[in-house]
Structure 1
Amino acid sequence: MYFSNFVGVIALLIAIYIFWKIRFIILLTFAAVALATAVNYLVQLLMKSGLKKRSVSIVVALFLLLLIFAVFLLLIFPPFIDQVQQSLSLLPLAVDRIEAWLMWLQETVPEQLVGEIQKLENLTRDLPGIATQLVGNFYSIFSGSLGVLLNILLVTVVMIMLLASPRPYIRLFLAFFPSFYRRRAAKILKKSEIALVGWTKGILFNMLVITLLSWFGLSILQVKLSLANALLAGLLTFIPNLGPVLSCIPPIVLALIDAPWKALAVLILYILIQQAESNILTPLVMKQQVSLLPAVTLLAQASFAIFFGFIGLFLALPLTVVAQVWIEEVLIKDILSSWNKNKRSL
């Protein structure tokens, strides 16, 4: 008895160790599954519209996505890169303007705040070095390294394999459950797919609307590099809590080049856009999404960022969406509810 328990504990520890060693591969696998789930929704729409063969629908869906991506690169990416380069060239001017504004502020505010303003002034002097370091780190990580390309290729190949023949993989996944629970697990898996597709549609809609609103507002305020900043705001919508804070920093710095009031106007604009997203956009699309509590979202992002780095932060929300479905169905409904019923019967 004790020996079998000891062997079971050792086997569990070995399994945890193996999963920890291959955690990055598991995360890439989930990314491929999430992409395959989203693309499969488009495949099903094409099949309903008249394309009967699944293989043809998959090819058409992938071609449409590739075409959209190519158009995005051709129309948006060149001006975006150009504006980013312009923003880097404007950084020294922005630092000079900030220092001049802080000196004026230092002459007009009470003496108690002089020390804090001097700290800000010292920080602005270090901004070019900090920005250069951040850009250098970003470039070293994402500038076409072989590892990133291989990871993208792996995710793409696995996604296509899952799309081409999903049933064997579903059966393999369900085989890990006891035979009496496989039908129930299949239903939970279907609910996870619906939740993931709904979340994907909702986040894409939010990203598009926030990009357009940011571009419109920054253009009215005549802030430099409005397109680049609007695209950055839309892309960072994928990372709630942290993304909106990061997205408002570049346009505020650029607005300070013109006037302090314009920087304040940009801050108010971004606050209004985020309030519109929280109170209008999110409730409109929430019917198709799994409702995630803000604290749960923030903790999930922090946890996955610590364990998996940037890709963990990027995939934190879809992972949380799927995990919430399984926790609600398995732990709450199947285990805890059944335990309470048995306890009452006793």
Structure 2
Amino acid sequence: MNFGRWIGLIVLLISLYILWQIRQLLLLLLTAVVLATALNRLVLQLQRLNVKRGWAVLITLTSLLALLVGFFVLIVPAFVEQFQQLIALLPTGFARIQTWLTWLEQQILRWFPNLPANLPDVTSLIQQIQPLATQLLNQSVNFFSTSITALLQFLLVLVLTLMLLAQPQPYRQSIIRLFPSFYRRRVDEILTRCDVALGSWAVGALINSVFVALLSGLGLWIIGVPLALAHAMLAGLFNFIPNIGPTLSAVFPIAVALLDAPWKSVAVLILYVVIQNIESYWLAPLVMAHQVALLPAITLIAQLLFAGFFGALGLLMALPLTVIAKTWLEEVLFIDILDKWRHPHQIVREEVVYDSNTDYDTEISEEWKEV
């Protein structure tokens, strides 16, 4: 290896190290790209209605800001109030659980009189868990109420999204110019495919989330769980995170229902299980078959990797970034490299077809010339 190659290797390693150090900033940039791509679909729809792009962008951003303001004004205060009530009722809830377990222990001893009377002391276990759970909930409230860093990151993503959405072509051309001249037209095609794939994923995920939110709100309203609308919106938002999001969205309504009436918590659990099975085995395959299809194992592995490297935001952005990576791998690695990587003899054997009127010597020689 000559001196120039050593310099190139050192520069590559330094670049990778710098990229790793600024990985959180890169993730915020990719988040802005994903949001701008999803919002651009709505902008293009408005442009097809003879609306100028400037006005289309303004209408789209105004609608997005209205949804965000409505969410924070109508939903967040109700959640904070309900969460504080949940913390205040924790001692009552633990006492109720202790009463149930004591009654269950007595019933077991009545049904099985030969069992030893010194069963594990459930009361002491609950007394140990109660302060820990209360402390954990208090820390969660403090974290979500005083997280200035998350707010600044949100504002940064919003500003970047606005810049990318207002003038996407200069940024697109800058990315294309990073590649050699002979491959720039192909990169432009791949970026278009990524745009289509991300837009399709956004449409499919939005349909699934609206479906989950509607069924959750209707079911919780019938059961009589407080804040059914807030829980429904939370279920719809968490549905953007496959595998993990639906489980997280069910924890809070089950806890609220448990403190209200025991049978309601069981009904809420059954409701969420039914909704997720309908969404997973019927709606998602039906919708995503026309949008973007990802293998379940690939989705789970991507979530674990992105969550391990980037935290909560990485978990949220794992699926759209996997869609982008899937598109690039299919187009560059498979189509442009592996599908064309064949031996000349293999080409001749595949393309020469038996025909009694064919002069094989002439055809084979011409194909070898082409190869």
Whether TM exceeds 0.5 here: the answer is: yes
2:22 maps to which residue? 22
Give the superposition deviation at 1:137: 4.0
Deviation digits for residues 120-146 of structure 1 (CA, Å, limit 9, x no counterpart): 972575145324324414533x43544
- Match status 1:164 vs 2:163: no
2:362 maps to which residue? none
SS for the counterpart of 2:341 is: helix
Matches within 5 A, 1:315-326: 315-326=317-328
Deviation digits for residues 71-126 of structure 1 (CA, Å, limit 9, x no counterpart): 333433333333333333333222222222222223334659x96x7579725751
Query: Are the structure 2 counterparts of residues 228 and 222 from structure 1 closer, same or farther at C-alpha, using a change threshold of 3 Å?
Result: same
Contact 2:204 2:287 in 1 (8 A): yes
RMSD: 2.6
Query: Are the structure 2 counterparts of residues 123 and 205 from structure 1 closer, same or farther at C-alpha, using a change threshold of 3 Å?
Result: farther
How many angstroms apart in 2 are the aligned matches of 1:138 and 1:299?
Answer: 30
Contact 1:84 1:228 in 2 (8 A): no
1:240 corresponds to which of 226, 239, 242: 242
Hey, which of these two has a bigger chunk of helix by percent? Answer: 1
What is the number of residues matched between the two proteins? 342
How many angstroms apart in 2 are the aligned matches of 1:39 and 1:29?
Answer: 15
My pick for the range that moved more, 13-22 or 81-90, is 81-90
My pick for the range that moved more, 158-167 or 226-235, is 226-235
How many angstroms apart in 1 are the aligned matches of 2:15 and 2:344?
Answer: 32
1:334 maps to which residue? 336
How many angstroms apart in 2 are the aligned matches of 1:118 and 1:294?
Answer: 42
Contact 1:219 1:226 in 2 (8 A): yes
Give the superposition deviation at 1:228: 3.5
Give the superposition deviation at 1:18: 0.8
Structure of larger gyration radius: 2
Query: Are the structure 2 counterparts of residues 72 and 259 from structure 1 closer, same or farther at C-alpha, using a change threshold of 3 Å?
Result: closer
Deviation digits for residues 160-205 of structure 1 (CA, Å, limit 9, x no counterpart): 2112221111111111222222111111111111111111122222
> Unpaired runs of 5+ in structure 1?
none
Contact 1:98 1:257 in 2 (8 A): no
How many angstroms apart in 2 are the aligned matches of 1:73 and 1:258?
Answer: 25
My pick for the range that moved more, 268-277 or 178-187, is 178-187
Contact 2:177 2:184 in 1 (8 A): yes
How many angstroms apart in 2 are the aligned matches of 1:154 and 1:315?
Answer: 16
2:74 maps to which residue? 75
How many angstroms apart in 2 are the aligned matches of 1:18 and 1:285?
Answer: 40
How many angstroms apart in 2 are the aligned matches of 1:236 and 1:121?
Answer: 35
SS for the counterpart of 2:242 is: coil
TM-score relative to the length of structure 1: 0.89
How many angstroms apart in 1 are the aligned matches of 2:345 and 2:160?
Answer: 45
How many angstroms apart in 2 are the aligned matches of 1:238 and 1:213?
Answer: 16
SS for the counterpart of 2:225 is: coil
Give the superposition deviation at 1:322: 0.9
- Match status 1:132 vs 2:135: yes
2:2 maps to which residue? 2
SS for the counterpart of 1:315 is: helix
Deviation digits for residues 219-242 of structure 1 (CA, Å, limit 9, x no counterpart): 222234433333332221121111
TM-score relative to the length of structure 2: 0.83
SS for the counterpart of 2:62 is: helix
Contact 1:102 1:121 in 2 (8 A): no
1:205 corresponds to which of 198, 201, 207: 207
Give the superposition deviation at 1:268: 1.6
Query: Are the structure 2 counterparts of residues 212 and 34 from structure 1 closer, same or farther at C-alpha, using a change threshold of 3 Å?
Result: same
How many angstroms apart in 1 are the aligned matches of 2:223 and 2:283?
Answer: 23
Give the superposition deviation at 1:262: 3.5
Residue identity matched to 1:37: T
SS for the counterpart of 1:338 is: coil
Contact 2:98 2:126 in 1 (8 A): no
Contact 1:98 1:124 in 2 (8 A): no
